Amino acid sequence: MTKNKNRFTLQTQRWYACEIIGDEFEEDKCSYSPICINRIERLKRGKGVFRLSFYHGNYPEGVRSKAYTLQTIKRERSFMLVLSVDHKPTRFLQIYAIDWPWVSRHFPGIAVETADVQEWLDRHF
């Protein structure tokens, strides 16, 4: 995605925190996953629609490579909120920078081995 200093921007080969919000998830209606962006393809449909190919760290091995068609709802300074146009029932994704507190909160069994969360995720996912 085009860089804009005032709005959150995804970069390929980077890890992000992703909260997937939908009725199919139990308890708080969210699923949490570290994702690594492989490719971003703008679709010429207008309305902020793009194809995001990514590695979904919290899916079972063998089905972690995903590609969703997403529509941007909101891009702020520190996060973006998108709607998956592929999923029924509706799924929203909130994507933002990943850090150790987020990893520890959602995956309490993971031991911190390094200060660099990007490097650690590259080695372990």
Contacting residues for 88 by C-beta, under 8 A, at least 6 apart? none
Claim: this prediction has a pTM higher than 0.85: yes
Length of the chain: 125
Q: In angstroms, rounded to a whole number, what is the distance separating the alpha carbons of residues 22 and 51?
A: 19
Identify which has the larger pLDDT, 107 or 94: 94
Tokens of 104: 């520890």
- pLDDT the model gives residue 84: 96
The mean per-residue pLDDT over the stretch 43-60 comes to 88
∠ CA 51-53-57, rounded to 5°: 140
